[in-house]
Structure 1
């Protein structure tokens, strides 16, 4: 049996088991298709053959309509950092319920939350902040501010970047953009029609060539994630971030750091943390920064902030001729404002360190499982524990384990991670099938995660849960090591 045939057979078997164990989820999915396209209103939650329908959540578990309970290793893609029933978040929302909502006016708590956010992320360059309803909105307004501030149009983005539902940049699309957008695009999207310029993530040489070829005074902004969450927990090399900072300064563009997902990784966010992991200890600062996910305590939330002079464009007292408009009925909704204030207090520097340490425990366990499976020699463990992926428009994505290391090809299965953000990844032509097999395998072990293998830890995950997850990964690797080795 060929490797491809073996993988296809494993997919069929995984789906058959899933369908046997989740008949009520199938019924709901089928019925929902009469009211929503494909029975779905959020693309990322779909997984073949159909998604699990969740009935309820409590603490660190989710229970489906089929009566199956899972330990939640997805944490709502980082927004659910506090689990499903944190008493302080619940109390904050109850305060909003008992104090009225839909004010149509400014509240005391939004002003307190703004002070807490600017204090928390001052090291990254945040002096003033405004709230939105999502990370997508936050990036929309950050880009708009950059275009207005510079009077330019072009925005530099990077391969496999994701900045919200209207800013999606898979590698195939970026290559197509880089090659002049000739012929039919490789994928459909609803990206906003800005003048995006694509560059390969972490690739200094190719990015420099692309930037140097731009017309003078044309680049308005550079938009980058310090760790690409949707892209598979891919960290940016500190030297790459420093190059982007220097390039923005040299060209008069604004550096926008997307910390929607990664702000969980350090007491002041991932950008500030990146300033401490290479030889140059000078803090890297953003001109603008975007936020979302956990800061709203699990409620709908987004924010953008940054330099005082740039953010002052949104001062409504400036008058219509000078100000930038930033409306939004629920920007300052009292549920999010109350929950967010509690969230920042709960997730303090000590809690950040504890959660990242738990992520390191999970990473170490999975690394040992990969080596024990025989998929990797022990002397290659460094490839699994601290890698930087360097994309290329001219060749393949490669792994580097240090400044002077030789690149290696992406293994069939490997771990990408930083702190409490982890993603077991697959590569090659069968990568999509492997992600699906892995997802269904882990469901059968009582683990809920993203279908792409993303597992951001939440605060109510315990060491015993981490050890259970590692044991499940080891079982998966043992079950499929022959196919993964082929």
Structure 2
């Protein structure tokens, strides 16, 4: 049996088991298709053959309509950092309910939350902040501010970057953009019609060449994630971030750092944490930053902030000819404002360190399992214990350690990409999508809920015993499919 045939057989078996165990989820999915296209209103939650329908959540568990209970290793893609029933978040929301909602006016809570957020993320360059309803909105306004500030139009983005539903940049699309946009695009998206310029993530040489080929004084902004969450937990090399900071300074562009997912990774976010890893320790500061997810306590939330001079463009006291408009009925909703105040108190520096340590425990367990099965070759361990992926528009994605790109090795068939409490078991090769689906269904059968792409950001309710259970499940998966994965 060929490798592809074996994978197809494994997919079919996984789907058959899932369908036998989840008939009510199937019934609800089929019924919902009469009211929503494909029975779905959030693309990322769809998984073949159909998604699990959740009835309730409590602590770190989810219960489906089919009566199956899962330990939650998805954490609402990092928004659910506090689990499903944190008493302090619940108390904050009840406080908001008790004081009424939909004020149509400013509240005390939003002013307190703004002070707390700017104090926390000042090391990354945040002096003033404004709230939004989502990370997508936050990046929309950050880009708009950069265009207005510079008077330019072009925005540099990176392969496999994701900055919200209207800023999605898979590798095939980026290569197509870089190639002069000849022919039809390789995928359909609803990206906003900015003048995006694509470059390969973590690749200083190719990015420099692309930037240097731009017309003079045309680049308004560089938009980058310190760790690409939706792209597979791909950390940026600190040297790459320093290169982008220097490039923005050299060209008079603004550096926008998207910390919608990654702000959980350090007391002051992932950018500030990266500053201590490489170079002389000089802080890498953004001109603008975007936030979301956990900072609102898991409620509807986003924020963008940065340098005082740039953010002052949003001062409503400025005349109409000078100010930038930023409306939004729910920007300062009292539920998020109160929940956010509680969230920042709960997730303090000690909690950040403890959660990252738990992520390191999970990383070590999975890495050991990959080594034990021979899927991580001993000669490549220097790369595979701390995966840094270097994209190239001229070739394949490679791995390297430190600044020595000449010591690159090819991606293994299965590997772990991670940073702190954000982890993603990944697959490479032509069957990668099928392997992600097989892995996803295998873990569901083990009582583990995660993203269908393998993304597992930890939440604060996850305990060491849960981590050890997850590692045991990965060990079982690798043992079950070792022959196919090494074929």
Provide the C-alpha distance between the structure 1 equivalents of 2:381 and 2:449, rounded to a whole number of angstroms.
27
Q: Residue 121 of structure 1: SS of its match in structure 2?
A: helix
Match of 1:204 in 2: 204
Provide the C-alpha distance between the structure 1 equivalents of 2:323 and 2:342, rounded to a whole number of angstroms.
32
Provide the C-alpha distance between the structure 2 equivalents of 1:361 and 1:57, rounded to a whole number of angstroms.
25
Aligned residues: 486
Are the aligned partners of 2:89 and 2:343 in contact in 1 as well (CA < 8 Å)?
yes
Match of 1:359 in 2: 359
Match of 2:191 in 1: 191
Deviations 1:133-161 (A, max 9, x none): 00000000000000000000000000000
Q: Residue 221 of structure 1: SS of its match in structure 2?
A: strand
Are the aligned partners of 1:367 and 1:381 in contact in 2 as well (CA < 8 Å)?
no
Match of 1:483 in 2: 484
Match of 2:412 in 1: 411
Deviations 1:262-314 (A, max 9, x none): 00000000000000111321000000000000001010100000000000000
Provide the C-alpha distance between the structure 2 equivalents of 1:383 and 1:411, rounded to a whole number of angstroms.
11
| Deviation of 1:319 (Å) | 1.6
Q: Residue 335 of structure 1: SS of its match in structure 2?
A: helix
Match of 2:273 in 1: 273
Q: Which sections of structure 1, spanning at least 5 residues, go unmatched?
A: none
Q: Residue 359 of structure 1: SS of its match in structure 2?
A: helix
Match of 2:319 in 1: 319
Deviations 1:191-237 (A, max 9, x none): 00000000000000000000000000000000000000000000001
Are the aligned partners of 2:239 and 2:403 in contact in 1 as well (CA < 8 Å)?
no
Match of 1:420 in 2: 421
Where does 1:256-295 land on structure 2 (aligned, <5 Å)? 256-295=256-295
Provide the C-alpha distance between the structure 2 equivalents of 1:253 and 1:306, rounded to a whole number of angstroms.
14
Provide the C-alpha distance between the structure 1 equivalents of 2:136 and 2:279, rounded to a whole number of angstroms.
34
| Deviation of 1:379 (Å) | 4.3
Provide the C-alpha distance between the structure 2 equivalents of 1:90 and 1:234, rounded to a whole number of angstroms.
33
| Deviation of 1:387 (Å) | 1.7
Deviations 1:63-115 (A, max 9, x none): 00000000000000000000000000000000000000000000000000000
| Deviation of 1:378 (Å) | 3.6
Match of 2:304 in 1: 304
State whether structure 2 residue 427 is matched by structure 1 residue 440: no
Where does 1:195-274 land on structure 2 (aligned, <5 Å)? 195-274=195-274
Match of 1:170 in 2: 170
| Deviation of 1:403 (Å) | 2.4
Provide the C-alpha distance between the structure 2 equivalents of 1:279 and 1:309, rounded to a whole number of angstroms.
28
TM-score, scaled to structure 1:
0.99
Provide the C-alpha distance between the structure 1 equivalents of 2:286 and 2:403, rounded to a whole number of angstroms.
24
| Deviation of 1:402 (Å) | 2.6
TM-score, scaled to structure 2:
0.99
Are the aligned partners of 1:81 and 1:294 in contact in 2 as well (CA < 8 Å)?
yes
Match of 1:156 in 2: 156
State whether structure 2 residue 403 is matched by structure 1 residue 430: no
Deviations 1:305-355 (A, max 9, x none): 000000000000002110000000000000000000100000000000000
Are the aligned partners of 2:239 and 2:279 in contact in 1 as well (CA < 8 Å)?
no
Provide the C-alpha distance between the structure 1 equivalents of 2:304 and 2:403, rounded to a whole number of angstroms.
33
Q: Residue 455 of structure 1: SS of its match in structure 2?
A: strand
Match of 1:87 in 2: 87
Q: Residue 455 of structure 2: SS of its match in structure 1?
A: coil
Provide the C-alpha distance between the structure 2 equivalents of 1:31 and 1:401, rounded to a whole number of angstroms.
50
